[in-house]
Structure 1
Amino acid sequence: MTNTGLGLPIADPESLLTWARLADEGPFSTLGLLDRLVYDNPEPLVTLAAIAGATTRIRVQTEVLLAPLRSTVLLAKQAATLDRISGGRFTLGLGVGGRIDDHLAAGTDIRTRGRRLDEQMSEMRRIWSGSAWNAEVGPIGPKPFRAGGPEVLFGAFRDRALARVAQWGDGFLSAAPVEWCGRLFDTVRESWAAAGRLGAPRLVAQVNVALGHTVDDARRNIADYYGQDARWALDRLVTNSRQLRDTVAAFADLGADEVMLYCWSPDISQLGIIAEACAVKNGI
């Protein structure tokens, strides 16, 4: 069965707790939040901590947190804390970040972001295991709810980055459209098997959605967020119920465990429309 989650809109941070409480009453599996530094969006870990406290069932997820912009030790502590206080409902979706302004603001080198993420994962896994940081510094708590740390997904497009899923992660978060996603899923599965990992990677897809009268608002917000690169997202924006059902079904056919329906308009009336379009009862 393919679950459906919601990507939360970033245009109105004050509304997000209301979104979260209503979604928690319904059948949606996860609430996701994107990350940027040089943009007018809420910081995801802080926001998801508030959302975890306002909900009881639904999972919370970064998609994706730009780890190379952050201090590794502090990120490990924040992630473990959120995993702990949410009762294991936290998924840490990670990426490297490709926008130069974010890296300039953080004082990080965009040219070494992939290498830095690999180093960060090695260090965070050690911290989450409870081992001492080094000979002079002891363990850094708190102990995560989930042994070994929270569930980790990686967002990526290139083969070298996709291999990170098998090396360090639990699964893959794809922002690619259906027509590209099959190859990405296959590459992740192949590298997982080649690495000798047991079971299967968790596969999560993402699609931009605007139903009802929210389409124009969503298009404006997408254009503002992506700037000159917005065309691909605008062209693939899902804007009616049949298209939404067909898109979720197509991702399910590719083997997606979950499809995140990313809402770009903060109009909360679309929550019920989306649930009805997915043929699920959400109780709101």
Structure 2
Amino acid sequence: MTSLGAVFRPQSPPEQLRAVAQAAEAAGLEQLWLWEDCFLESGIASAAAALAWTERLKVGIGLLPVPLRNVALASMEAATLDRLFPGRFLLGMGHGVQSWMGQVGARAESPLTLLREHLDAMRALLRGERVTCEGRYVRLDGVALDWPPAAPVPVYAGAKGPRTVRLSGEAADGTVFEASTTPADLRAGLRLIDEGRAAAGRDGDHHVVVYMAAATGPGAEDRLRAEIAAFGEELRPGLGAAGDAQTIAKAVELLADAGADSVVLQPTADEPDPVAFVRFVAEEVRPLVG
């Protein structure tokens, strides 16, 4: 059964997060995802607060940009959240938007190399291993977490371009696809993930999360069209959905049929009522999705 989630976008002020997280929990939503977009809201601080305000809801960060974080610190943060809220914290890492990374002096010459090194070291640390490595960007000397997770925390990689998607299969436990992904794009991406996993000799589960732009209520199609235009795309079949619960559920099913394990509904940046949106997803869309 495909998991369903929603995004609390950082365009909404941080003080709205509590109401959204608690509404999502009360309505029975499975997942709430947060972003660490520059220069809006912290992913770790927001996730810790949302987890503390709820008891069952899974809270994901998609994504933390690795150029901003030392891998040991990021692993300490992830391990702490998992031990405080076992099984409820979902972690996604990405190489960051390069223009933003340049603004803060953290732009890497090879973002893919940095992401690969970070994923390899982080996954080892979260398995409780002692890690020594001397990479191009990631360097550790006998580092081990004193309080590792009781069980390894899956680490997702955000991916868009073919090389990054393939890398997610090689070096991550799951992949997060952004909302410009159509069902056809997802099928092509899954082939690249499989290539990466085969090249790395990996087996076992690889969880696939796909964001889907969604709008409901007055002006929904116009708001979705503007959102898609912000991606540099035009509204076309398979790219987001606007309308009632049935229309949006059908679009979710298409992504599930293409291979998504979790579909996360992404409201438009100008969504007027984030609390109502998560209730809509949980109470009206969820019952229509198999």
Does the alignment pair 1:25 with 2:15?
no
* 1:258 aligned residue: 262
Structure 1 residue 266: Cα displacement: 5.3
Q: Which residue of structure 1 lines up, in the alignment, with residue 87 of structure 2? A: 88
Instruction: Indicate how the Cα distance of structure 1 residues 278 and 45 shifts in structure 2: closer, same or farther if over 3 A, else same.
Output: same
4+ residue stretches of structure 1 with deviation over 6 A? none
Give the aligned partner of residue 16 of structure 1.
17
**Is there any run of 5+ residues in structure 2 with no aligned partner, and where?**
133-139
Superimposed CA distance per residue, residues 32-62 of structure 1 (whole angstroms, 9 cap, x where no aligned partner)? 111222x3x2111110010111111111111
| Matched residue, 1:155 | 158
Q: TM-score, normalised by structure 2?
A: 0.82
Q: Which is further off, 269-278 or 209-218?
A: 209-218
1:200 pairs with 2:205? yes
Deviation at 1:199, TM superposition (A): 2.6
TM-score (norm 1): 0.84
**1: CA distance, partners of 2:18 / 2:143:** 37
Inter-CA distance 25–229: structure 2 relative to 1 (3 Å threshold): closer
Letter in 1 for 2:111: R
Distance 2:259 2:129 in 1: 36
* Structure 2 residue 121 is the aligned partner of structure 1 residue 123: yes
User: Is contact 1:156–1:173 with CA below 8 Å preserved after alignment?
Assistant: yes
- Report the AA paired with residue 27 of structure 2: G
State the distance in 2 between where 1:263 and 1:158 align: 23
**Equivalent residue number for residue 151 of structure 2:** 146
Q: For residue 213 of structure 2, give the secondary structure of its aligned residue in structure 1.
A: strand
Q: Distance in 2 between matches of 1:15 and 1:90?
A: 20
Count of residues paired in the alignment: 272
Cα distance 1:214–1:45, how it changes in 2: closer, same or farther (>3 A)? farther
Give aligned-pair identity as a percent. Answer: 26
Whole-Å separation in 2 of the counterparts to 1:187 and 1:110: 24
Q: CA deviation at 1:8?
A: 1.1
Indicate the residue corresponding to 1:248 in structure 2. 252
SS across alignment from 1:280: helix
Structure showing the higher strand proportion among its residues: 2
Cα separation, partners in 2 of 1:4 and 1:136, compared to 1, 3 Å: closer
Answer yes or no: is the 8 Å Cα contact 1:153–1:170 preserved in 2: yes
Q: CA deviation at 1:26?
A: 2.8
Q: What is the CA-CA distance between 1:121 and the residue it aligns to?
A: 2.0
Residues 1:248 and 1:90: Cα distance change in structure 2 (over 3 Å): same
